[in-house]
Structure 1
Amino acid sequence: MDRRSDRNTIDDKKQAVGSSSVIPGSNLLNRNRNVSEMLADLPKPPAWHELGICRQFDPEIFYPSHYGPTQTADAKKVCAGCDVRAVCLQWALDNNDQHGVLGGTTPRESESHGQGGCGMTCQCGRPAHARGRCARCYAQLRARQTAYGRWEPSYTDAQPVREHLLALRAAGIGNRKVRELTVIAPSTIQAILYGRPARGNPPARKVLRNTAARVLAIPVPVSKVPCLRGGRVVPALGSVRRLQALAANGYSQRELWSRLGWPSPQNATQMFAGRVENITVVRAQQVTVLFSQLQMVPGTDRNARARAKAKGWLPPLAWDEDRIDDPTYTPELVDKPRTAEDVFSDFEYLLSMGVGVEDASRRVGLLPASVKRRYERHGRRCPAALTAVARQQRKTAS
């Protein structure tokens, strides 16, 4: 189903077969890593690899786009005259290799394919079904390897992936954005969500494990603002909270409206009072930028600060920027507010006790990106683990 992602793996391994330092079929190359890291991870090839006759042929024939009799005939003829064919087949079975023609067999051979080419039959005499084994022997091998912890199925349940895609769509991330983030074909996404109605196929029940990992790695944003185009309309709650927080920080409504460059200052009162339900994405982004600029810069308007206090508007530091757009989020208010040093102390203590960065951030009531920003604002050295997690989340969301 996911031919594109599957094809990427195959292309990598085509290059690997032609190299004397790579085991045929090993899936170790990653285009996003530098050469030194790749060479450091490559295992030493076994002795039998040097004896493989496949080294004298173009690797292309061992990794066809389809595993039909015609496409695999040449590869099987080469394997038929190889002295280490049995060893290569056993290696493919032990390592659960699901790509290429290895040991004269394809990953999933039907009986007709097994009887063609090299004339493969199982050790028990039955026609080969997969990797030179009949269906019964192959199932026994898979069960044994699973018990040893050496078998991981190529496919997994598609339902969690489908639910995650629907959650992303509800948050404003459509198929085009998912494709940019995961390099997954739109037809694959459609097959997971709706199946292929033209062919009469229902939504996919299974999906490649690699595809599932890519989709589930995309975080579901709380706010739709970063994901939508400028003319779209979004809830105004996050913008209202930001403007109220800036007012509590000492900025008047007129000044904020002037900084935003919006006409009709008469509407400012409606906005600050929370009586505006929706706002365009462009304006929401403008408010977010202004909030980032002024949240740590105290204003000079005492009347604005007193009015905000009377109305119960919270200052900027009371809000978690990553959750301020969430309508279900309510800041935890205490009589004695926790200082930044309290947060740093608790966070670093949790890290020293072996708690992960994401769990430690959640326990102090923030997200990793918010904790990192607080370290930067107070001139504190940010823990390396926190920097790595925040950078990865920012790269995934961008």
Structure 2
Amino acid sequence: MTTAIRQAPHHRTLTCYTDYKCRLPECVQRYNNWQRNRLRARADGTWQPFIDATPTREHLLKLYEAGLTPHRVSVLTGIDWNTIRLYTRAAPKQGRGMIRQTTPEIQAKILAIRGEQPALPGRVDPTGTRRRIQALVATGWPLRELGPHIGIKPDNVRRILKRGNTVYGTTAQATLNAYETLRRSHPRKHGVSEIGIARALRHASHQKWAPPKYWDRHPGCIDDPHFEPMYRLTRREIVAQDANWIMTTVGLNRETAAARLGVSKAYIDHAFRDHPQYAVEATA
């Protein structure tokens, strides 16, 4: 029986070497450098031993109450997300207990997070957050690649688009920050593959998601839940939407709805035929 080797989530810290048995040359070098510096500091008497992690844990819990996520803390501190999570709870399935001791350096980074987060509202309307994510996909960013830039798990990016009447204020702000940064940066420069870019563009095109340039032409509308984007909609589809609204809300039949919209009844018939998702049967 063989044992599957877990893949490191990234190769920026020592955990890929110590926890995931990564042996990439750059990761081995990073670990060797750390060991060399540790031994030198011990010889010089400047080595800082581990300290109680309780203040770190308590501060993290306060940040979570304010709306931050472990992923957001990871982005702000540069500390691996899995490590951040272990300060407040164990991971039995991975055979890892809750962290009880930490280094002064890590504690200082976590305790330094303050200020902006508590000032943000706990929950906000998700419209602007969703539209910004969709706009980035329309420029070639795959959904799974946006999570690290926003500071949330990749799966949560998809959840934001699919469900929920609100999002955390911190998530909305982090998405806005990522949007302003990434909209002017090609995904290829961040290591996104050509296949991933092509898939993102196809998906956005199929969903008719508006890119940043569209929202630039409608200042202030990206956060407005009452603004209905008409990106890439044909006149016939717009008429089908409007006729649907008039017939279901006001209770008019197709002929009267057509007169209200300034088109013929036949035009609405054709619009409903081409866009059956909006079709409404004629009232009695």
Normalised by the size of structure 1, how large is the TM-score? Answer: 0.25
Higher Cα Rg: structure 1 or 2? 1
